[in-house]
Amino acid sequence: MAWYRDPKRKPLILDGARQVGKTWLVKEFGRMTFAKTAYINLMDNERMASLFASDISPQRLIPALSIESGVAIDASDTLIVLDEVQEVPRALTSLKFFCENAPEYAVIATGSSMGVTLHQGTSYPVGKVQLQHLYPMTFCEFLDASGMDNLSRLIMAGDLELMRVFHDQLVEQLRFYLLVGGMPEVVQQYVASLPGIDFDVLRTKQVQMLADYRADFSKHEENMPRGLVARLNQVWNSLPSQLARENKKFLYNAVRSGGRGRDFELAIEWLKDCSLVHKVTKVNPPLYPLALHEDFDQFKLFVSDVGLLSAALGIDVRAALDSDRLFGEAQGCLAEQYVCQQLVAMGVQCHYWQADNSSAELDFVIQHAGRALPVEVKSGINLRSRSLKSAINRFGYEHALRFSAARPGTDGAIHDIPLYALEARDAWLPQ
């Protein structure tokens, strides 16, 4: 809505991983906000590929897009949606001319991050578009979808004392989220099955999504360097076991025996550009400003969605009924994955730190208001934190964060925040 109301708005690109709900979102936005929506799907659309192959001025495109969509396009009341824009590279380039020569038209292009980055040599309209990224649904959005908006409002209000009263209920819902995740189709199936949850159907959908991602690698093979598809699959398939280890630093030889960085660095960057993974680099020392201390050769790779990770790990979804069993089986990796993807969706850049002798580690390090903030993630209620306390003494942190399944509290410089309260940033960020 802010984009729509901006008198200087530019064409909008809504990108993100496949199946996070981009198409539904722009169609619903068009239905709610405009009299008409001219929707054009560019996937396997030879007519549109031919149209954009020549003159891409708005004056030529508008009549053709009207015919293709079956909607009389009028700048005053019509939203133009170019779906799967990565499939027709020059459609992406055309946004520059809409910005310069026809800014009165409201244009949204959607596409997977994979496709947008595939076409080397395509002119990306730098400075001529606004980019927004769509992530899987956060925990609070999951609560909203589940009809528990009262709990999401409680979290967003940041009242930790009131959260204590509803702690058990919030923890229970978090357990479900760690298994269901935030992919809209899976959440929709989960909500439709309430109060009797069909876990088998949910897991089947998640497994199919994982298979679809692998199939997507092969679909674009002709646009990739030779052998890259095989390496993409090797890296992707290694992630569940890499994240299940206590030390989650990404290891090339865990992908393939004798593997080296030069073998897989391109595959990792492609997965990152596809929005399928989050790359969390090491900082040493973990001090402000963090970018000054990045070690790009050492990193962790998290996946895009905690529910997909739970499916890839093969965790028994019925474990949601037993919190201790769930967190025990996952060995903390679901909790750490959850924290990472929530922070990323909130626009927080994550790093981590590990001592050179591996004697201490900070799960994450973030920065806020001119200071570095150490973050430790506990999957249960055991709050022993030797590494965190060691880092506080070593680096002089005045404010540290420990996310866990325990109730909120303080322990010296450590602020204990329940995992479910992560989106209530005002409750845990230093003032």
Estimate to the nearest angstrom the gap between the alpha carbon of 306 and the chain centroid.
10
The mean pLDDT value for 102-115 works out to 88
Rounded to whole angstroms, the Cα distance separating 54 from 264 reads 38
For helices 333-345 and 323-330, what crossing angle results, to 10°?
A: 90
Q: What is the pLDDT of residue 357?
A: 86
**Residues comprising the chain, all counted:** 431
Of the chain, the percentage scoring pLDDT greater than 90 comes to 81
Task: Give the residue ranges of DSSP H helices in 245-295.
Answer: 261-273
Number of H helices, E strands in the chain: 19, 13
Q: What is the pLDDT of residue 315?
A: 85
pLDDT at 64 over 60: yes
Q: What is the pLDDT of residue 83?
A: 96
Residue ranges of E strands in 284-413: 294-303, 351-354, 361-368, 371-377, 400-404, 409-411
Rounded to whole angstroms, the Cα distance separating 405 from 383 reads 9
Q: Nearest Cα to 374, choosing from 394, 356, 358, 357?
A: 394
The mean pLDDT value for 325-351 works out to 86
Of the chain, the percentage scoring pLDDT greater than 70 comes to 94
Rounded to whole angstroms, the Cα distance separating 27 from 108 reads 10
Which residue is it, tokens 């990323």?
344
pLDDT at 265 over 70: yes
Helix (H/G/I), strand (E/B), else coil: 56: coil
The ranges assigned to domains in the chain are 2-133, 139-428
Output the CA–CA distances (angstroms, integers) from residue 120 to 86, 111, 225, in the order listed. 11, 16, 12
Q: Edge to edge, what strands does the sheet with 106-112 contain?
A: 36-41, 78-83, 106-112, 12-16, 130-133
Q: Model confidence at 216, in pLDDT bands (50, 70, 90)?
A: confident
Tens digit of pLDDT for each residue in 179-208? Answer: 999 999 999 999 999 988 888 899 999 999
Dihedral pair phi/psi, residue 262, rounded to 5°: -65, -20
Tens digit of pLDDT for each residue in 242-254? Answer: 999 988 999 999 9
Tens digit of pLDDT for each residue in 30-57? Answer: 999 999 999 999 998 999 999 999 999 9
Q: What is the pLDDT of residue 118?
A: 53
Q: Give the range among 138-142, 210-214, 380-384 with minimum mean pLDDT.
A: 380-384
Q: Give me the CATH code for the 2-133 domain, please.
A: 3.40.50
Cα atoms in the 13 Å half-sphere on the side-chain side of 275: 23
Rounded to whole angstroms, the Cα distance separating 286 from 298 reads 14
Q: What is the pLDDT of residue 217?
A: 86
pLDDT at 26 over 80: yes
The mean pLDDT value for 254-278 works out to 92
Q: Model confidence at 117, in pLDDT bands (50, 70, 90)?
A: low
Which residue is it, tokens 């076409």?
119
Q: What is the pLDDT of residue 319?
A: 62
As given in the structure block, the two tokens for residue 271 are 């997965």
What is the DSSP secondary structure assignment for residue 407, as one 8-state letter?
A: P
Amino acid type, 50: S
Q: What is the pLDDT of residue 125?
A: 84
